[in-house]
A and B are shown apart, each in its own frame.
Chain A
């Protein structure tokens, strides 16, 4: 695959499949679904091929494609992939494939749905491989639209409120981010090529005040997406109202775009500002960890609880990024991947539970393990993975970000362990209530054929395997991230 423009193909493939979906005759849902699964599988296979051809030891960009595009405004066509983006690209194509499989039983507006899914994939993959500011922004915005419609069309009761809130919130963030990108262009090397901008920044050519301003603009865009406390309030609403697939992709991939933005743009281009705000950012991360966990503890809605757990877990990502140490960055990428895997799994499970019991209220769910043993066991597995049990992947990321945080901030990072204990508390409370306690008269009743269907079970298998494998032996994965993380940490000098 050396001669081929691998990354262009990667981002074009879902686009073509999306168009092909539209061309299929309407009414033939089955064909659309088959095409959806085939298409996402093809993208996934291509990602795996790229992963196989990726040489792990090298720190720089690989599969680079760079061409002039619109030289007047300094825009280039620049794609590339490195240790930071490869895991996230992999995550995006894996989760999309699993979502396509899970949607096998979808009934309403199947064609639109799969088109949006492909469009979403274009955006998600594009953000992680774009090395040009404008392209980055365009892909960033592309993601917004399908997600808005997914929440708005297939969402729950308050879907309109949630989708508009999601849209306004992230749009404000991304508009300010665009301003930041333009400032990078104007005060910088008059090009949107992120590699050039990074070189400019590392040569110290941005003034200190300039750096702080740009950092502030970019921060808002990324912070809303992550979300960093206190910009997180859109998340629970969006999650609660979003359909299962929407939640999975939202938590699994979309949140990572924010963290990735910090690592790809803020850190290399604005080292001074990054260092300047490092402690505050780390503190926000720690607050997010404890705060998210504490609020999750009081939730009565299962999905909302998982949503707040996302806030808590993404806090670790923020802590790791803010530390700007090798361990922190390694851990942040690891944690992003793990969070995608584990929380994706949890949202799938919540979807399955809701479909059967028609409620997400923790107090009314009881005895899942006696009614649907397989589901109960997997819920328990996912919960333990999420609460950071060692030997499952969640722990590795948490440990490394905590370690990085300690290296950079000392004991402040240690506060976050309170969040870990609280996380254990709310997951165990949920398990005790929903999974293990015997059903009573007023608890919700399972109203479907209760066993898991193949299309439901199948998406869980790879997720569980990853959660287990990365927890037991993270080295192959870390070997991918490490060179990139080392290079980034060297910029800050940690």
Chain B
């Protein structure tokens, strides 16, 4: 099979599934899910082939095949497929995650009356992401970008009987569309000034085009990315998007929709690099990272917390791109795709099992939902950045890129503040994830729950495995495969002290969460009861200690071992406890940040949403005023013309006697007048 066909098949197969399901969906019933999955599996196979080719291509594009889509005078727009290391790696990630989410959805959506329609739109959604990633033309990319927006509208509003789903779908579509208008203008500027939209040619636009033009174009393109990737201040649609079915969130927040924005910047990276737009990207990114994490602190809805964490993680990627950490950003994009979809799917499983989304109403689910709790833990650890899970390596790579930014795009003076902000955010992330984890899975049971069906569990487990091992694709210094694929010949150095620092930041976050959870439970329960080991799936730093101690206690060997090995540890922790470290933490760090977050969330609600509403209302007012203008002024003028005509007509009608002879007389008179006038004119 020619490689161009392989690349084309990746989006075509799900598109075919879409058509098939739209036409025959009703007849297929619940089998339609498997049609979609079959198509997707084909795409996955093609993606694997492409990646294998890309690995041996040494930086050259694997495929670049186009056809003429439109000719506009001297401008030609060629659409087609363009696959290089970047697209191949992202493609594979999307294909894997999508496949898993599809399988999961067969379980989750079981029994829904619009089951085939769901899979049809879901296929189109995936198809557009594939087509976006393999686009050979920026306009083509934009076309599928928007198709994806349409699909997100349809999927978020899938349960359109619910008011909030309808609202959320409109909010998502409109907010991203505001950003997309920037994208559209950026495309227009690029086409007008560079003269082409072919992505490989555009990447070298810096050689031919003035920098200010590129700066404007890149900032406009970035507007689109801000909207799609839910960056500050266009993030407001993201939490509401949770109104859709959970598999939608799982895909939308990991591999498709939000990933598209980061992908766009990565795709156009050479242009961004030349244009000088990257500091803006970095600024918006880090603002979103901090802001998103802070918002997540105050959230009690399990899915909305994850949504804000998505915003925060995408901010990381943007910031990394802005600091020249191209490989790091793509790396994080890939690992994030795995662990975030995992988290959403398991959150869906939790909701499915416990029938609530509020973490305060959950608790002790680890007992009834064993597998879910384990995979959720894996996901949370990865998100928190605990080694050796995938999230750790990619987050570490981002931190490295900030500590030692690419000299071409940024200075250390810019990088270091970003670095510390990112580090603090990492700690916050670990904190809120584990606070959530403890509240959901540990503690006393608050309501009856049941484990999810196998169709949902299997994909979760697969994703958990991937989350655990995906870090291996780019081990700094040891196995930098992804880096070689994306930027051949560039060697990344590993900063070991930084790894340690980021890991301990994450661990601190987990520890705080743990302590906070403990003190929360103390209010209601016996102090010892909360130490029951079976309840603690928590922090990897504390667990081993107690695991060992429990093991030893069960074996009942010796007090000596206990005294020599464990007592010092316990004593230290006792000492720490007496120092009331946790209280200090709570007071200084957590309270402060939650207050801050509370404030920010107010900002979100009152200032940004308020501003949006204000603009909306003002728009409506202006529009109403315009309508009045329409009716009074313009129509009035026309009606005056009409009225005047009628008045003149009323006067003139008296001449209309109806008697033929009178008419003839008039004809005669006017004939004479016209004769003389014509004669006069002729002279």
Contacts and interface: CB of A to CB of B under 8 A. Distances in A.
A406 B193 CA distance: 10
B71 interface: yes
A424 B177 contact: yes
A134 B473 CA distance: 75
B634 A233 contact: yes
Contacts of A403: 72, 188, 191-192
Contacts of A399: 139, 184, 187-188
Contact of A172 (B69, B635, B641): B641
Interface string A330-346: 11000000000000000
B72 A326 contact: yes
A295 B628 CA distance: 10
Contacts of B73: 325-327, 330, 482, 485-486, 489
A429 B163 CA distance: 13
Given A295-B626, A406-B192, A424-B177, A429 B185 contact: no
Interface in A271-325: 291, 294-295, 297-298, 325
B184 A298 contact: no
B143 A391 contact: yes
Interface in A455-494: 473-475, 478-479, 482, 485-486, 489
A407 B192 contact: yes
Given A230-B634, A298-B624, A327-B72, A436 B641 contact: no
Given A406-B189, A432-B167, A437-B163, 17 more contacts: A294-B623, A295-B626, A295-B630, A297-B623, A326-B74, A327-B72, A327-B73, A384-B150, A390-B146, A395-B143, A399-B139, A399-B187, A403-B192, A421-B178, A428-B153, A436-B157, A475-B68
A143 interface: no
B75 interface: yes
B453 interface: no
Interface string A404-429: 00110000001001101110110011
20 contacts: A233-B631, A233-B634, A295-B630, A326-B72, A326-B73, A327-B73, A327-B75, A384-B150, A390-B144, A396-B70, A403-B188, A406-B185, A420-B177, A420-B184, A428-B153, A428-B170, A432-B166, A437-B160, A474-B69, A478-B72
Given A390-B146, A428-B170, A294 B622 contact: yes
B161 interface: yes
Contacts of A13: none
Contacts of A482: 71-73
Interface string B139-163: 1001111110010010001001101
Contacts of A436: 157, 160, 166
A327 B191 CA distance: 11
B568 interface: no
Interface string B169-201: 010011001100100110111011000000000
A331 B167 CA distance: 34
Given A172-B641, A421-B178, A390 B147 contact: yes
A15 interface: no
B642 interface: yes
Interface string A197-220: 000000000000000000000000
Contact of A417 (B68, B144, B146, B185): B185
A180 B166 CA distance: 52
Interface in B581-605: none
A369 B114 CA distance: 13
Interface of A: 164-165, 168-169, 172, 230, 233-234, 291, 294-295, 297-298, 325-327, 330-331, 369, 384, 389-391, 395-396, 399-400, 402-403, 406-407, 414, 417-418, 420-422, 424-425, 428-429, 432, 436-438, 473-475, 478-479, 482, 485-486, 489
A420 B181 contact: yes
B170 A429 contact: yes
Contacts of A418: 181
B671 interface: no
Closest 3 pairs between A and B when the two form their complex, measured CB to CB: A326-B73, A390-B143, A417-B181
A402 B189 CA distance: 10
B74 A297 contact: no
B627 A298 contact: yes
A295 B181 contact: no
Interface in B614-660: 619-620, 622-624, 626-627, 630-631, 634-635, 638, 641-642, 645
Nearest to A325: B73
A424 B627 CA distance: 19
- Specify which of B139, B178, B188 lies most central, judged by the most chain A CB atoms within 10 Å of its CB: B188
Given A297-B619, A327-B72, A436-B157, A428 B174 contact: yes
B15 to A, nearest CB: 11
Interface of B: 68-75, 139, 142-147, 150, 153, 157, 160-161, 163, 166-167, 170, 173-174, 177-178, 181, 184-185, 187-189, 191-192, 619-620, 622-624, 626-627, 630-631, 634-635, 638, 641-642, 645
A475 B147 contact: no
A483 to B, nearest CB: 10
B150 A389 contact: yes
A400 B160 contact: no
Contacts of B157: 436
Nearest to B220: A414
A324 to B, nearest CB: 12
Nearest to A428: B170
A478 B70 contact: yes
A473 B170 CA distance: 28
B620 A421 contact: no
B612 to A, nearest CB: 12
Contacts of B188: 399, 402-403, 406, 414
- Specify which of A230, A298, A479 lies most central, judged by the most chain B CB atoms within 10 Å of its CB: A298
A295 B184 contact: no
A415 B188 CA distance: 13
Contacts of A369: 160
Contacts of B145: 390
A401 B409 CA distance: 36
Contacts of B71: 475, 478-479, 482
Given A295-B623, A420-B181, A474-B70, A233 B630 contact: yes
A285 to B, nearest CB: 16
Contact of A402 (B69, B147, B174, B184): B184
Contacts of B620: 297-298
Given A420-B181, A422-B619, A438-B161, A475 B69 contact: yes
Contacts of A325: 73
Nearest to B645: A168
Contacts of B170: 428-429, 432
Contacts of A478: 70-72
Contacts of B143: 390-391, 395
A406 B191 CA distance: 10
B641 A475 contact: no
A391 B146 contact: yes
Contacts of B161: 438
Nearest to A396: B70
B19 to A, nearest CB: 11
A297 B170 CA distance: 15
A402 B72 CA distance: 13
A298 B74 CA distance: 41
Contacts of A327: 72-73, 75
Contacts of B619: 294, 297, 422
Contacts of B153: 428
Contact of A389 (B68, B147, B174, B626): B147
B623 A437 contact: no
A230 B157 CA distance: 38
A391 B634 contact: no
Nearest to B636: A233
A389 to B, nearest CB: 6
Nearest to B182: A417
Contacts of B627: 295, 298
B166 A437 contact: yes
Nearest to A419: B181
